[in-house]
Amino acid sequence: MPSAIIVGSGPNGLAAALTLAAGGVDVTVLEASDSIGGGTRSGELTLPGLLHDHCSGFHPLAVDTGFSRQFGLENHGLRWSLPEVQYSHPLDGGRGASVWRSVDRTAGELGDDDNESYRRMFGPLTRRFPQIVDEFLQPLVHVPGHPVPLARFGLYAALPAALLARRWESEEARALFAGVAAHSFRPLWSVMSSAIGVALGTAAHRYGWPVAAGGSSTITTAMATRLAEYGGRIETGVSVRDHRELGRPDLLLLNTSPSAAADILGDDLPPRVGRAYRRFRHGPAAFQVAFAVEGGIPWAHEPSRRAGTVHVGGALPEIADAERRVVRGEMPERPFILVGQQSVADPDRAKDGVHPVDAYAHVPAGWTGDATRTIIDQIERFAPGFRDRIRSTRSLSTRQIEQYDPNFVGGDIVTGANTPFQLVFRPRVALNPYSAGIPGVYLCSAAAPPGAGAHGMAGWNAARSALAYLGSL
């Protein structure tokens, strides 16, 4: 039986492990931390009994993928749970806009000027999204199986987000798109900065933005349960520094950042791959605050109280300015903030009327300041009375985020800048981007295509490459 070692038990590491084990490989996963899951772990952070997602909270792109269809984690303890409003965007004066599952309802609420235009863009994309997402969740350079829907998606995705947002007239509609596009951590005037926003925005209509009931950790515990059924093993508390410690497995898959992979593989890495891994660019960072909030956040824009995710940053020009500054290394006075209200979708997470809220601000890479007060002020701006409802907070700086999970280099929670170059060629220019240039060795983290997210698709794709390699021997 061929053997494989997977370094790292994030969703990509475990997806790779599971795919290899199902393919008849004897799999061992080595994880540096004491617990599995990487960016999908959950647990108490503020008050006893209040369940927070430590990192990943919402999973629109994990619901229907090649990996999810192969392994059916819903039969192994994973249950997706949807909020009523998928995401929303409050503006000053109690105004705002919201995304519902229905394209028509979302478009209708944007008013007469924008109704038709929203429907014309998101209607066809939503209908063809299963085909688009299959294309999107693999290396972008490939022969497309569904060229027509992919071309339609590409027409929008290629544009700067701030330009695409101008197809709508109202401040509400423009802000709604700016908020979802800002997930890319890119200046909104840069080429292809729409890509992630168009994908996530369409996914909200097709699949919703679900939380994992009982915490995101259930995503990876379901993978681990499945892996054990195939005879795979996981060892925690093992930090791998040098691949020579690992004996000679037939396959080695690294669920790490490219620079960590270069350290682990050392001189055995072909020099051109080593150079590419060390040149890999990380993006801006997050500063995280977990809150325990009595009665939830009192958003003045009422639908935001029913939204799983709330994008906080004001109108399009304000968000565009904040994102531009962050990429340039300047801390904006009013940064863009994502607020996760998981208990809206998963009510059991609230306890005695106190709700867990997981928020993070976009800040410059490696920023050393404390954004707790700034985050509270920004939320208070759109939810007067929020401050008085806070019962407990727990903040994590960019450095602490990297200490928590070394793949988030400098606090870069998406494991690699989404520059146009890296959207197309990550982690390096190669026919097989997962290959580390050593036979049987692969990079399978979010630094590889399709990039960030707790969907496991980088792991699944890398493992399929590895199985093809074994088959070719």
Regarding 286 and contact with ligand FAD (CB under 6 A), the answer is yes
Rg (CA), the chain: 21
Regarding 185 and contact with ligand FAD (CB under 6 A), the answer is no
Of positions 4, 6, 9, 204, contacts ligand FAD by CB under 6 A: 9
Task: Name which of 33 and 341 has its Cβ closer to ligand FAD.
Answer: 33
- Smallest gap from Cβ 261 to ligand FAD, in A, equals 9
What is the rounded distance in angstroms from the CA atom of residue 17 to the CA atom of residue 452?
18
What is the rounded distance in angstroms from the CA atom of residue 228 to the CA atom of residue 114?
51
Of positions 19, 42, 46, 56, contacts ligand FAD by CB under 6 A: 56
Regarding 182 and contact with ligand FAD (CB under 6 A), the answer is no
Of positions 42, 98, 221, 288, contacts ligand FAD by CB under 6 A: 288
- Smallest gap from Cβ 320 to ligand FAD, in A, equals 22
Within 10 angstroms of residue 205's Cβ, the number of other Cβ atoms is 23
Regarding 31 and contact with ligand FAD (CB under 6 A), the answer is yes
Task: Name which of 246 and 376 has its Cβ closer to ligand FAD.
Answer: 246
- Smallest gap from Cβ 337 to ligand FAD, in A, equals 12
Cα-based angle 434, 435, 440 (whole degrees, multiple of 5):
125
What is the rounded distance in angstroms from the CA atom of residue 267 to the CA atom of residue 277?
13
Expressed in angstroms, the distance from the first to the final Cα of the chain is 13
HSE, CB side, 13 Å, CA atoms: give it for residue 409. 17
Task: Name which of 194 and 220 has its Cβ closer to ligand FAD.
Answer: 220
Task: Name which of 109 and 263 has its Cβ closer to ligand FAD.
Answer: 263
Beta bridge partners of 356: 292
Task: Name which of 149 and 453 has its Cβ closer to ligand FAD.
Answer: 453
**Cβ(319)–Cβ(188) below 8 Å:** yes
In this structure, the dihedral spanned by the alpha carbons of residues 51, 57, 63 and 69, taken in order and rounded to 10 degrees, is: -70
Under rule CB under 6 A, which residues in 408-427 are in contact with ligand FAD? 408, 413, 415
Regarding 239 and contact with ligand FAD (CB under 6 A), the answer is yes
Regarding 345 and contact with ligand FAD (CB under 6 A), the answer is no
What is the rounded distance in angstroms from the CA atom of residue 415 to the CA atom of residue 208?
24
Regarding 406 and contact with ligand FAD (CB under 6 A), the answer is yes
**SS3 of residue 234 by DSSP:** strand
Backbone phi and psi for residue 45, each to the nearest 5 degrees, phi listed first: -125, -25
Of positions 23, 39, 284, 303, contacts ligand FAD by CB under 6 A: 39
- Smallest gap from Cβ 126 to ligand FAD, in A, equals 19
Let me know how long the chain is.
Answer: 473
Place of tokens 């983290």: 445
- Smallest gap from Cβ 53 to ligand FAD, in A, equals 8
DSSP states along 423-451: HHS-SSS-SSTTB-SSTTEEE-STTSTT-
- Site residues (CB under 6 A) for ligand FAD? 7-13, 30-33, 38-40, 55-59, 239-240, 255-256, 260, 286, 288, 360, 401, 405-408, 413, 415, 445-446, 452-454, 458
